[in-house]
Amino acid sequence: MPAGTNEKPLRLFLALWPEDSVRLRLGATMAALKPTVSGRWLRPEQLHLTLAFLGAVERQRLPELNRIAARAAGLGFDLLLDRVECWPRNGIVCLAPGAVPSALLGLAERLNQGLGQAGYRLDPRPFRAHLTLARDGRPQGALGSLAAPIWWPVRSFSLVESRLEPRGAIYRVLETWPLADPRD
């Protein structure tokens, strides 16, 4: 930390942050799945699709993050979350697209490239589009196609702060960047 400051670094990530109408459908999907999947369910207001996890970032790097994100912005896209999955290795229960839009892959790639060039340590695993619903999940039957797929018109992405508190992580959107309308 710079001399004279005692501010802690921020724990940050970049994500697709659902609008309220999408969040309502996500909450309804969670409610429908809870009887057949045990686990630690996230709160609907915390649901998001992570593009890049940054970890601890000094506050003075926020302008740099803003520039990287603004340069990465491209076209908006429609995301269809039509699969429910449970990843056995880590017990993540998530929604995923059967087909990942190329605009989503491009956005994640541009962000990760810009962040890497700026010296951020990133997850070395390839980007895998998913929206986590629960942790330590144990389904009581087969998962797969979602009975009521969720259509999400993605027109922005956000920088989000994650504060770890006794009751769990609390997320706060710090900045949002628009994506160009794909119909223009």
Signed CA dihedral, 132, 161, 120, 110: sign only:
positive
Reported as a single tens digit per residue, the pLDDT across 10-42 is 999 999 999 999 999 999 999 999 998 888 999
Is 130 in the active site?
Answer: yes
Average pLDDT across the chain, whole number: 91
Handedness of CA 74, 80, 82, 84 (dihedral sign): positive
pLDDT tier, 167 (very low <50, low <70, confident <90, very high otherwise): confident
Instruction: Determine the Cα–Cα distance for residues 146 and 164; give it in Å rounded to an integer.
Output: 31
Strand order in the sheet with 168-178: 49-57, 10-16, 156-165, 168-178
Confidence of residue 4 (pLDDT cuts 50, 70, 90): very low
Q: What is the pLDDT at residue 83?
A: 95
CATH fourth-level superfamily of 10-178: Cyclic phosphodiesterase (3.90.1140.10)
For the chain, what are the domain ranges?
10-178
Q: Provide the terminal-to-terminal Cα distance of the chain, rounded to the nearest Å.
A: 45
Q: How many CB atoms lie within 10 A of CB 118?
A: 12
Q: Is 161 left (phi over 0), alpha (psi -120 to 50) or beta?
A: beta
Catalytic residue among 72, 130, 131, 133: 130
Angle at CA 97, nearest 5°, toward 95 and 101? 140
Instruction: Write down the catalytic residue from 48, 69, 72, 94.
Output: 48
Q: How confident is the model at residue 95 (pLDDT cuts 50, 70, 90)?
A: very high
Question: What are the pLDDT digits (tens) for 124-161?
Answer: 889 999 999 999 888 777 678 888 999 999 999 999 99
